[in-house]
Amino acid sequence: MPLNREAQTMADNAHTLRGIDYKAAFPFVHLFRGFRLAIDPSKLVLALGALLLLYLGGRALDAIWPNEHRAGTGEIEAYDRSTGDFSVHRKRAAADRVEDLKSEFLSIGKTEERPTVRKLISERKRLRDEQITRENDAYSKIADKTPAVRDEHERQLQRINATYSAHAERASSLAGEGLFMHFLTHQVHQVDALAESAASLNLPMAAESLRQFFFVAPAWAITQHPVYFTLLFALLILLMAICGGAITRIAAVQVARDEKISVRQALRFSTGKVLSFIFAPLIPIIIILAIAVVLGVLSMFMSVPYIGGIWSIVIGALFFLALLAGLVMTLTALGLIGGGHLMYPTIAVEGSDSFDAVSRSFSYMYARPWQLVFYTLVALVYGAITYLFVRFFIYLLLLLTHGAVGMFMWGNAADGRPLMDTLWPAPPHFMNLSYGINFSALNGGHSVGAALISFWVYLTISLLGAYAISLYYSSSTVIYYLMRKEVDATGMDEVYLEPGDDEFADAGTATDAAASSDPAAPIDSGTPTSMPASTASSAESSSPLSSPSTISSPVVERGPDKLADTLPGSGSTAT
């Protein structure tokens, strides 16, 4: 009957849905590998090493740089709000700090024509010691030292020390802040603000944090302190080229092959291509600056007497060329902003140079701009959530450690606070992990102990920055693989391997040899590894696997879970 015949036909054509390949259906889920990629110990060690070297270099520059160039409180924010010549504001702020120092000296009955913070703190310390001596002498003359008298004596000593600490802190603020520490504090604050706003999907606040991080702070650095920050940024670029390049290289092999290379191999790769890593982000900047300088020099002649008028006519007639030059600068700037994070992954994945990095990153950005924006936003939101999780993890670690270490401690420091809280104040909130030490309230041994505790605590806190760096390079690598697959139709399992990567070359050779020595061995649910050539085309339509092919090139390798891409009829070939 017709109904039975139709039902039989439907039964014959029925297929069983075994599962959904979410990574194929929704490629952006690859970005959720970012956390596991970023917490890899090798990457964290490389990122932490870069941070420590940058910190040491920055503090060394702060130590040798003249004091008159130190930054005032909130100087970067003031620069962002400024509408006129900010150098005038800086000079006025520096003069105000000198006047405030003189006022501080006058408050203790001293007159200083060339006041310094060191002298002021020394005077305050001398006055504190005199007050403590007088208080101790008065206490020693009391015959009946009752508990109430002893308590009052202790409270008086604590008040003296607390007053000195407040004056010393005030004096230190008048000294200004080292340029590196001021810049670092501002940038860390922006990263925290970006994480909070991105995790809460507050895109306007996230955009403002990005603007402050990538544009405002660097502009302040280069325009107000060009020599200092040229040296610092040169160190930063070198460290990122070596350590950031190594992190990206490890991530590139992990994403493609689910394998890890050693730190030594990664550093060998990044140092071998250090010039490519250095110049990849600089080439677009150099292009923009070169075009701008040419336009500026040609336009300068309009101000020259006698020939300025004639030259203005020439410039006016050919001004469309200036607009074309502006178009080139704009496209280059947008390419750098939108695709700059793909440059390091290009070199790490393809083993290419800086020119190829610029070419591919710009090509992918302009070929699929909205897809790149989408992947970047997903990585940003996901990364912000994981960043806050890691920050909370470190906060909980420090809080529990603080409670355990101080569980059975007793006694107070000279400022009246519990000794443990003076040696190491507990973090008040997971968004505020840093702290200061009141060394004036501690004796010699306790001061050394507090300094050593501070070293280990801040090394632990630095792991948060190391994670952020590792996450940035790891996520950028995944985005590069996704964009390459979309634009070039290249599988995510293809990665450049150097001849020195012996363990991978040996593993690949052994696998190929085993497969060729046993052609009847099954691959995936009993599918034969070889078949007659006459039936190859029909087999392709019925099975995702046909016959293994040997990748002859030692440069590009494919992951073991993507073997089908290397087989005849798969639609892609090894390059």
All structural domains of the chain with their residue ranges:
32-68+179-367, 95-174, 381-488, 497-518+550-575
Q: How far is residue 122's CA from residue 128's CA, in Å, rounded to a whole number?
A: 10
From 320, 341, 329, 230, select the one nearest 289 (Cα to Cα): 329
How much is the pLDDT for 21? 64
Q: How far is residue 404's CA from residue 424's CA, in Å, rounded to a whole number?
A: 13
pLDDT band for position 242 (50/70/90)? very high
User: How do residues 182-224 score in pLDDT, each as one tens digit?
Assistant: 999 999 999 999 999 998 889 889 999 999 999 999 999 999 9
Residue 389 pLDDT exceeds 80: yes
Asked whether 193 and 185 are in contact (CB, 8 A), the reply is: no
Helix (H), strand (E) at residue 39: none
Cα-Cα-Cα-Cα dihedral of 93, 98, 103, 106, to 10°? 180
**Residue 198 vs residue 567, higher pLDDT:** 198
Residue 302 makes CB contacts below 8 A (sequence gap 6+) with 308, 311, 312, 315
Residue 354 pLDDT exceeds 50: yes
Residue 13 pLDDT exceeds 60: no
DSSP characters for 492-523? TT-EE--TT-HHHHHHHHHHHHHHHH-TT---
How much is the pLDDT for 14? 53
How much is the pLDDT for 549? 37
Q: How far is residue 173 from each of residues 101, 168, 176, 217, 396, measured CA to CA in Å?
A: 10, 9, 6, 21, 31
DSSP characters for 436-467? ---GGGS-HHHHHHHHHHHHHHHHHHHHHHHH
Here the tokens at position 115 are 């006041």
List the single range of 85-94, 302-311, 359-368, 429-438 with lowest mean pLDDT. 85-94
Residue 532 pLDDT exceeds 90: no
In terms of DSSP H, where are the helices of 26-85?
Answer: 34-38, 41-64, 75-81
Lookup result for tokens 């000079």: 91
Asked whether 372 and 479 are in contact (CB, 8 A), the reply is: yes
DSSP characters for 172-210? HHHT-B-HHHHHHHHHHHHHHHHHHHHHTT-HHHHHHHH
Here the tokens at position 438 are 């009141």
The full length of the chain comes to 575
Here the tokens at position 95 are 């003069």
How much is the pLDDT for 515? 39
Q: How far is residue 355's CA from residue 280's CA, in Å, rounded to a whole number?
A: 7
Q: How far is residue 389's CA from residue 454's CA, in Å, rounded to a whole number?
A: 23
Q: Would you tell me the crossing angle of helices 308-317 and 319-339 to the nearest 10 degrees?
A: 60
Asked whether 33 and 478 are in contact (CB, 8 A), the reply is: yes
In terms of DSSP H, where are the helices of 258-340?
Answer: 263-272, 274-300, 308-317, 319-339
Map 81-94 to HEC letters.
HCCCCHHHHHHHHH
Q: How far is residue 390 from each of residues 33, 298, 464, measured CA to CA in Å?
A: 15, 53, 7
pLDDT band for position 503 (50/70/90)? low
Q: How far is residue 131's CA from residue 137's CA, in Å, rounded to a whole number?
A: 10
Asked whether 412 and 418 are in contact (CB, 8 A), the reply is: yes
What is the average pLDDT value for the chain, to the nearest integer?
80
Q: How far is residue 74's CA from residue 186's CA, in Å, rounded to a whole number?
A: 9
Residue 429 makes CB contacts below 8 A (sequence gap 6+) with 395
Q: How far is residue 22's CA from residue 157's CA, in Å, rounded to a whole number?
A: 68
Asked whether 329 and 288 are in contact (CB, 8 A), the reply is: yes
pTM assigned to the model: 0.77
Side chain identity at 128, as an amino acid letter? Answer: R
